[in-house]
Amino acid sequence: MSTIVPFGPQHPVLPEPIQLCLELEDERVVSVIPVVGYVHRGLEKIAEKKDFIQDTYLIERICGICSFMHSMSYCMGIEELMSIPVPPRALYLRVIWAELHRIHSHLLALGLLADAFGFENLFMQYWKSRERIMDAMECTTGGRVMLSSCCIGGVRRDIDENQKKFVLDQLKEVEKEVTSLNRTMMEDYSVKQRTVGIGVLSKEAAYAQGAVGPTARGSGLVMDHRMSGYAAYRELAIEPVVETAGDCYARTMVRCREVMQSIDLIRRAFAQLPDSELKTPFKGNPSGEAVIRCEQPRGEVLYYFRGNGTDKLERLRVRTPTFANIPAMLTMVQNCQLPDVGVIIISVDPCVSCTER
Amino acid sequence: MMTINDVITLENQQERISALLPQGYRFVTMTAVDSTTHFDIYYHFDRDYELYTLQLKLDRDAALPSISGLCFAALLVENEIQDLFGITVTGLVLDYHQHLLLTKDAPVKPFCRVPGVSVSTVETAKGGEQ
Amino acid sequence: MTKATAKAPWVVHVNCNSCNGCDIEFLACLTPMYDAERFGVLHIGTPKHADIMVVTGSVNNRNARVLRNLYEQMPSPKVVVAMGVCPATGGIFADGYNVIGGAEKVVPVDVFVPGCPPRPEAMLDGILEGAKILAGKRQNSVTVKPVRRIKIVRPAAPAADPAAAAAAPAPVKEEAK
């Protein structure tokens, strides 16, 4: 005899509204049906009403956590449609801001995971370190969440020597703090009790269900779209962070190690930062079709553009990483215990406002 | 720019896609575009960071057979297309009946355009509110 | 009791149609850097314990019912604080086909905190303003008529950082249209 329990939309462990209808046999989850649409704004349609330059700022608001990466992917798409070359310095600055966003997103996710299994102190400590990254972003762009520093053809502002020093100082502190926090996350007995062997996703299942990002890499798939070398990633050698166990612990490990990788990337990007213009002026309107893929903190994002030569796009489609991870998430939740559902969901790091746009 | 690797039809859709999956292609997503005379449905697959795109031209009143039986990951996006474009998708593993994202009191088929006119059929009546 | 409530408002956070920007900034308010708990603000998951409801994001057709339901579950007196421009007017998403508008369409809002997203300092000011209104409501709760004051909290001046001061983000202007 099974019972159906609604999980969400308002639930202490979920920062965002999504509902999972869990079919339970005692405490075991038999099947699960997701109910989405609580954050559906119809953003793709709004993008067709505004012109393509205004869209840069609209697209940024798909998600506040990876806002810069969204605007970067959008600008890359328009640049490809209109064949606008981007100056090399702008490409490096984009990498720097994108990696700052990745660090802040991963620290946020690690903190929320700690909160999900009731380790509030660790949550607070991760978020304390994260504030340093927010300060670095505010210092370089003026915004904490919405950077608005990416524009079509390049970037809007430069990072000068003082700002560079501030960012690097903050990164040094973050590296020190996060190294010790990661030790707790990786080695603490009670943390391991909640994460090791929970919500296992096999490599084959991850591939077949189209999982992306840390969810896929935690299951042993070598898949990081930065390897394809967009922006300045081609010149910055990247080794994807891969774990093989496929459980909550492995996904968490991927995030812990990617924070360190991103810190290293920013340092190398600063060291190689070339001198050039910041943006290329352009004329005209986009026409034709293009597809752009980028690696966000949660995985690969796909943008489809269709322009018709007017200042408004005919169609803009965004397939966000969490949208691809939901089928995998459903597999993980099956056959687990009810108290683990929260931890499993947070270990995927779902971003519902991305998913529903 | 986007490369369309192949054009498929309703007749060979299932067999072409089921032939792709064993070759190591990963389902990325689907995109539907209202081209006023017909719908363009794109199936995006990926292998080694290379995108493989199939195009399907669908008549405005035709139903689209689901591929969620072949590839479970297509479930959500097919339901989304059914919601936003009003295309009937047949054979879905889990059918939300046009209420995945939209509720009963929300506008229907918000992404559809009237044939021949490139404006949206749904306009929100929100003028003069501020 | 009145004094105690105003000094320790319990807050429930409702994410309606938000882009996450305001949500993460609101959560950042609770963490050591901004530390809302020094004002006695406690973030809890259930509306049944809460005094103040923090709404982020505009209202759409599906979550309007959820918001209304959560508001009704809160014990009186209660205060609603709208964080950001979206729960005020719909913000940048006001044109969306699925967006009904601001939170005021569904629940009575007491404090608006504008910004996209507001700075955490402004959010703290907004919650504390809500706590004052809450104390007033509690004093008046013997009489049947509820007292409603609407007050707009302006965001605090940005930090004394030249880079921050120089950044007048263009998107905010567009939203004002």
CATH number of the domain at C88, please: 3.40.50.12280
pLDDT, one tens digit per residue, over A2-19 is 888 888 777 777 777 888
Q: Which of A129, A172, A163 is nearest to A273 (CA)?
A: A163
Are B124 and C96 a contacting pair at CB < 8 A? yes
Are C94 and B129 a contacting pair at CB < 8 A? yes
* Inside any domain, residue A275: yes
Query: Is it the case that residue A122 has pLDDT exceeding 60?
Result: yes
Give yes or no for a contact between A134 and A108, defined as CB atoms under 8 angstroms apart: no
- For residue A114, give the CATH number of its domain: 1.10.645.10
* Residues in Cβ contact with B90 at an 8 Å cutoff, skipping those fewer than 6 apart: B63, B64, B65, B66
Can you list the positions of beta strands (E) in chain A?
3-7, 19-25, 28-35, 150-151, 154-155, 287-296, 299-308, 313-319
| DSSP annotation of A337 | B
From residue A131, alpha-carbon distances to A14, A32, A60, C83 in Å are 21, 36, 20, 20
- Please tell me the predicted confidence (pLDDT) of residue C167: 45
What b/e readout covers A1-40, taking b as 16+ CB neighbours within 10 angstroms?
eeeeeebbbbbebbbbbbbbebebeeeebeebebbbbbbb
pLDDT, one tens digit per residue, over A64-80 is 888 888 999 999 999 98
Chain B positions in Cβ-Cβ contact with residue A326 (cut-off 8 Å):
76
* Inside any domain, residue A7: no
Nearest CA distance, C27 vs chain B (angstrom): 27
Structural domains of chain C, count: 1
Instruction: Give me C81's structure tokens.
Output: 């604080």
Q: Which of C103, C105, C137 is nearest to C13 (CA)?
A: C103
CA B66 to chain centre: 10
* Inside any domain, residue A6: no
First-to-last alpha carbon distance for chain C, in angstroms, is 44
Query: Is it the case that residue A21 has pLDDT exceeding 70?
Result: yes
Structural domains of chain A, count: 1
pLDDT, one tens digit per residue, over A282-307 is 888 888 888 988 888 888 899 999 88
Note down the domain range covering A136: 41-324
Note down the domain range covering C89: 2-176
Nearest CA distance, B106 vs chain C (angstrom): 6
CA angle at A137 for the pair A132 and A143, rounded to the nearest 5°: 120
* Inside any domain, residue A334: no
Are A38 and C62 a contacting pair at CB < 8 A? yes
A265: amino acid identity, one letter:
L
Please state the domain extents for chain B: 6-90
Q: Find the residue in A nearest to C25 (Cα).
A: A145
Per CATH, the homologous superfamily of domain B6-90 is NADH:ubiquinone oxidoreductase Nqo5 subunit (3.30.460.80)
| DSSP annotation of B97 | T
A254-268, A330-344, B75-89: which has the highest mean pLDDT? Answer: A254-268
Are C97 and B130 a contacting pair at CB < 8 A? no
Are A80 and B53 a contacting pair at CB < 8 A? no
Q: What is the mean pLDDT of chain C?
A: 77
Distance between CA atoms of residues A184 and A156, nearest Å = 40
Name the helix (H) or strand (E) containing B32: strand B26-34
The answer to whether the pTM exceeds 0.90 is no
